[in-house]
A and B are shown apart, each in its own frame.
Chain A
Amino acid sequence: MVREALALPAMEMHVGQISCGGCGERSCPHCAGKAEKGWSKGLRQLYDSVVSEPLPDSFAELLKKLEKAGHD
């Protein structure tokens, strides 16, 4: 079971062959005992929290600068 878990792509949504889809529920026969689920989910949350941040203005400024330089 551990081997199976390690072989899985980390994005559970891609894992069609597992009926629970990597639910992480303690009662689930596939996910029970996999403490990995907690931090594995946390890792995605860490990443997604940055993805959903509004972009600082400096990025728009940089793009403007790049574009201007590119057209000169």
Chain B
Amino acid sequence: MTDARREGLAPDRFKRDLIAVIPHLRAFARGLCGRADFADDLVQETMVRAWNARGRFRPETSMKAWTFVILRNVFLSEVRRNRFRGEYDEAAAERITAGSAGQEAPLHLADLHRALLALPPERREAVLLVGAGGFSYEEAAEISGCAVGTIKSRVARARAALARMVEGEEQPADGEIGGDAAGRIMADLAKVVAAG
């Protein structure tokens, strides 16, 4: 017990908290690397590192944020090894959407995921953390090891690029997005949701 206390969380508690964040780690990893198999490899490597470093986890902090930092490092080292350059697995993208309770918009999400993967990794990561993972700018900055202003700028650039890519050639050149585009996307979404 004294060992466990000195080390942080007791092993059972650590394991429980780690299990609880696995789905989020998988979602973040899938968003980052685009391939379900690679993503799960990243998450498993993350779990091994987290487990081995569990003595350094401070119980009063967020397991999700802590493990995201590890996952991010695992991902970036793989990027540096060129493992993910230009990788995009259409079949895996279909599985993500087709396998997910079936009621969402597969085409839009696959397009969106492709656009996401076209972003530079640090922007992709920023928009995933803030736009999907539910982290605040401050938390995302801490996870990414950069200033809050840097994260805000990455998220803004990522959002602009995603809007441009998803909107495609129909977006006016001045970057002004009209209400019709928004209406069309929502209508398409509604159609697919209804069809599903």
Q: How many residues of A contact B (CB 8 A)?
A: 40
What residues of B have a CB within 8 angstroms of the CB of A11 in the complex? 134
Q: How many residues of B contact A (CB 8 A)?
A: 57
- CB of B40 within 8 A of CB of A56, answer yes
Quick one: closest B residue to A13, CB to CB? B134
Known: A41-B189, A43-B132, A58-B40. Is A66-B23 also a contact (CB below 8 A)? no
User: Which secondary structure dominates chain A's binding surface?
Assistant: helix
Shortest distance between the CB of A31 and any CB in chain B (Å): 7
- CB of A55 within 8 A of CB of B22, answer yes
What residues of B have a CB within 8 angstroms of the CB of A9 in the complex? 130, 136-137
What residues of B have a CB within 8 angstroms of the CB of A38 in the complex? 108, 166, 181-182, 185-186, 189
Q: Which residues of A pack against B, CB within 8 Å?
A: 6, 9-11, 24-26, 31-53, 55-56, 58-59, 62-63, 66-67, 70-71
Q: Which residues of B pack against A, CB within 8 Å?
A: 11, 15, 18-19, 22-24, 26-28, 30-31, 40, 43-44, 47-48, 51, 96-97, 99-101, 104-105, 108-109, 112-113, 115-116, 127-128, 130-134, 136-137, 155-156, 159, 162-163, 166-167, 171, 177-179, 181-183, 185-186, 189
